[in-house]
Amino acid sequence: MTANTPDIVANLASIRQRIAIAAKTAGRQPDDVRLIAVTKYMPRAYVETAMAAGHHCFGENTLQGAMNKQPLLDAPCNEWHFIGHLQTNKARKVPAHFNWLHTLDSLKLAGKLSESALLADTTLNVLLQVNIASDPDKYGLDTQSVHAFADDLLAAKLAGIRLCGLMTIGRRAADPGETRASFAALRELGDSCAARFGVDHFRELSMGMSNDFELAVAEGATMVRVGSAIFGPRPASNDQTLK
């Protein structure tokens, strides 16, 4: 390990410990929180190091970055989450290679994912992306649209996709109080959806990243998406190929 190479094993252990402390402080069980190690722009060797340390849950933001790690993407021991914005014309590759998609906000996209999942003979777990802070720089449904969208999605009875919950991204440069309020608002929205549609469709909350995952855990996150705190800053070359 060189001076510029992150200590991925130590970082994973530290993040897991911080999740455990945050969960216990909130009266929750640490095992209720899934740690998604985000590998965007990271070389495949970093993923292999995390795997060797016993971590098998990863997230990717782009299909290009994911396909450059395809041998690991298709390893049966790994669980992969697509966490970036997905264009409808690129939907066909996701169900064949990912277990989860966190960013559903279009019925047209849902239909394409369903078609692709059926062709791949699989079921894709999906989360609705919610723009909880009404941030103009973020994708996602506004809070007032979520119930109607879920109504339409469930009424369509699309085979091959399973609605499991909600996802949001905290507003950039928000203070901790605003961030925690946003996470609390997503939890409350998730609770209202579970009461309306059934808890099986709305048991997951994906929220919190490297700078705010402890606040997310305190407010009920079941998934946190952590990249730089595990793998270090994005490589200057942005080389996503395996070295």
Burial of 75 (0-12, 13-18, 19+ CB in 10 A): middle
Is residue 195 one of the residues assigned to a domain? yes
Domain span holding position 140:
8-230
CB atoms closer than 10 angstroms to residue 198:
12
pLDDT digits (tens, 9 = 90+) for 131-151: 998 888 889 999 999 999 999
Is residue 240 one of the residues assigned to a domain? no
Is residue 157 one of the residues assigned to a domain? yes
Mean pLDDT estimate for the chain: 93
pLDDT of 51 over the 80 cut: yes
| Structural domains of the chain, count | 1
pLDDT of 153 over the 90 cut: yes
Is residue 242 one of the residues assigned to a domain? no
Q: Which residues of 17-30 are buried (b: 16+ CB within 10 A; e: fewer)?
A: ebbbebbeebebee
pLDDT number for residue 225: 98
Is residue 126 one of the residues assigned to a domain? yes
Torsion of CA 211, 215, 216, 222, to 10 degrees: 110
pLDDT number for residue 240: 43
Is residue 236 one of the residues assigned to a domain? no
pLDDT of 29 over the 70 cut: yes
Is residue 193 one of the residues assigned to a domain? yes
pLDDT of 180 over the 70 cut: yes
Average pLDDT value for residue range 98-125:
97
pLDDT of 243 over the 70 cut: no
* Distance, CA of 75 to CA of 56 (rounded, Å): 10
Q: What are phi and psi of 178, to 5 degrees?
A: -65, -40
pLDDT number for residue 227: 97
Is residue 3 one of the residues assigned to a domain? no
The pTM of the full predicted model, rounded to 2 decimals, is 0.93
pLDDT number for residue 136: 86
pLDDT over 90 for what percent of the chain? 83
pLDDT of 2 over the 80 cut: no
**CATH number, domain with residue 172:** 3.20.20.10
pLDDT digits (tens, 9 = 90+) for 185-201: 999 999 999 999 999 99
